[in-house]
Amino acid sequence: MGARFGKDIPERDGHGGREVGHVPVLLKEAIDFLDIKRNGTYIDATVGLGGHSYEIAKRLGAAGHLIGFDKDPAALEIARTKLSSAGVSPTTTEWPEVTLAHGSFAELVNDQRPASLYGILADLGMSSLQLQDAARGFSFQAEGALDMRMNPQAELTAEQVVNHFDERELADVIYEFGEERRSRRIARAIVRSRPILTTAQLAAVISAAARPMKHERIHPATRTFQALRIFVNRELDDLRKLLEAAPQVLKPGGRLVVISFHSLEDRIVKDAMREGAKLGQYRLLTKKPVTPSEEEIDRNPRARSAKLRAAERF
């Protein structure tokens, strides 16, 4: 069951206070495309630290309902505070009902009644909370255990993949989920260097095996770390399930807005929306993906690779 907040929670001004350094990407664009209807029911499929959710909630009114999902219980705790704390006068009554649920949106979105939602937002990026905590193992910028689980209760860790998959399986994961052309060379180096127990150790092995290609601007380990994270968290499977469910649970006129951060996700979103348009389910609102302005990128370099696509249910 999700944590449920009553409707007597006051609205706060601004952007809801400090957010542990997290800046929601394409915030204005996402809210504009959702075209939020007062008193409607909306899903934030990846509530994260609550940045997008807060902006949705403050537009809904007392009869509205915001439902937020996240695999990461630490992020949900922060979002819970952001979406429930009394920032102004206790007489304010315009805050909507908020339900937060721990788990993947792939499973939980199917609990909604057919044609019951006014909008779904999915920001597929990682939160700064996850990236900045070295113990979570998402980043090679700091020494940490090879974990990479968004949900700490999940069974599979990156350490298990790195140390127990055979060379071919490992190469396939790196190629399929990281689009890394040097996957076989990297897999071979990883197998020869086992056991590998930390992010820094893995990054060093990859860097030695896959020297930067000409004109390559990213760290040699970037694609392999991306592949491990996506595989461990079943991110693409979950995204496909969400996109399959969306046409059933959205009301006519309901909006689907998805922000992706790499080509694998964007391709899946683009294909699903275009297929939905061919089937008469959607009107496409974005012929090409919406990308951040130079001003936003200067303010938040993490936004550079973001792409937003949106569609409206017929």
In whole angstroms, what is the distance from residue 64 CA to residue 6 CA?
11
More confident residue, 216 or 303: 303
Does residue 248 carry a pLDDT above 70?
Answer: yes
Domains and CATH numbers, the chain: 3-129+235-313 (3.40.50.150), 134-233 (1.10.150.170)
Answer yes or no: is pLDDT of 90 > 70. no
Tens of pLDDT, residues 170-202: 999 999 999 999 999 999 999 999 999 999 999
DSSP letter, residue 97: E
Contact 39, 7 (CB under 8 A): no
User: What mean pLDDT comes out for the span 267-283?
Assistant: 98
Confidence grade of residue 22 (pLDDT, cut at 50, 70, 90): low
pLDDT in tens, 40-58: 999 999 999 899 999 999 9
- The tokens for 31 are 């809210």
pLDDT-derived band at 9 (thresholds 50, 70, 90) equals very low
- Do you find a cis peptide bond into 195, omega within 30 degrees of 0? yes
17 CB contacts (<8 Å, ≥6 apart)?
82, 87
Spatial distance between the Cα atoms of 65 and 133, rounded to a whole number of angstroms: 32
More confident residue, 307 or 135: 307
Nearest to 63 by CA among 38, 39, 95: 39
- Mean pLDDT on 209-234: 88
Instruction: Kindly report, residue by residue over 104-158, the tens digit of the pLDDT.
Output: 998 877 788 999 999 999 999 776 667 777 778 788 888 899 999 999 999 999 9
Confidence at residue 19, expressed as pLDDT on a 0 to 100 scale? 38
> Which of 225, 232, 164 is CA-nearest to residue 200?
225
Query: 39 φ, ψ to 5°?
Result: 75, 10
pTM (predicted TM-score): 0.90
Task: Read off the pLDDT band of 88 (50, 70, 90).
Answer: very low
The model's confidence at residue 13, banded by pLDDT at 50, 70 and 90, is very low
Whether the predicted pLDDT of 14 surpasses 50: no
